[in-house]
Amino acid sequence: MELAFYVTAFVTLFVIIDPIALAPLFVALTRGMDEHHRRRIALRACLIAIGLLTLFGLLGNKILAVIGITMPAFKISGGLLLFVTALDMLFERRTQRREGQQPDPNHDPSVFPLATPLIAGPGAFTTMILLVNNTPATGLPHTLAIHFVMILVVASAYLFFLMAGMIERLLGRTGIVVVTRLLGMLLAALSVQFVLDGIRGTGLI
């Protein structure tokens, strides 16, 4: 049961962060840089993203408590937010917004836009809070497990960054669109599950 939950957590974060779709964007943001410089930017971006996601995973629930938001309400709103993200992926709006961000040759893109909002964005922050405070377990072991899963997902993004040029040539524009659409369908189903879990937490069902 718990293993299945953590597998689902990995899939959810992977879909939200979407390392495959980020790969060609990384190429665009680091255009003209040598491989050594690209690797340094990729590593820095991923480390910063891990730090931000860890912060939200550890303190997100306390922030909600301070402002008086219950976890069922956050699960429902988070599920709706993830569903909007899924629609963006299905209809390619998110890709269009990301591709609209033009690289500045005098700017290091590791912090913005790579670390945030492309890797650690609102959807990923929301997902971390939901997963850390979700069943089947609670406490320190569960929290550590979720953060380990998050680190694995961000590490996969780093690997995709390293292989960005090859992936772009291999998949092509059509292949990237197809993969993004498939991930969007999966995210839509997972977001509905978050909403159902939130409604169940209110006692309505």
Alpha-carbon 96 to chain mean position: 17
pTM of the model: 0.72
- pLDDT exceeds cutoff 70 at 95: no
pLDDT digits (tens, 9 = 90+) for 6-33: 999 999 999 889 898 788 778 777 877 8
Answer with the residue of higher pLDDT: 52 or 179.
52
> DSSP readout, the chain?
-HHHHHHHHHHHHHHHH-HHHHHHHHHHHTTT--HHHHHHHHHHHHHHHHHHHHHHHHHHHHHHHHHT--HHHHHHHHHHHHHHHHHHHHTTHHHHHHHTS---TTS-TIIIIIIIIIIS-HHHHHHHHHHHT-SS--SHHHHHHHHHHHHHHHHHHHHHHHTHHHHHHHHHHHHHHHHHHHHHHHHHHHHHHHHHHHHHHHT--
pLDDT digits (tens, 9 = 90+) for 55-66: 989 998 788 788
**Residues 85, 123 contacting (CB under 8 angstroms):** yes
52 confidence band (pLDDT: 50, 70, 90) = very high
Residue 146, C-beta contacts closer than 8 angstroms, at least 6 positions apart: 6, 9, 57, 128, 131, 132
Lowest mean pLDDT among 57-71, 135-149, 176-190: 176-190
Q: What is the mean pLDDT of the chain?
A: 82
* Alpha-carbon span 13 to 36, nearest angstrom: 28
Answer with the residue of higher pLDDT: 44 or 90.
44
- pLDDT exceeds cutoff 80 at 49: yes
Q: Is 80 exposed, middle or buried (0-12, 13-18, 19+ CB in 10 A)?
A: middle
pLDDT digits (tens, 9 = 90+) for 169-187: 787 778 877 877 887 787 7
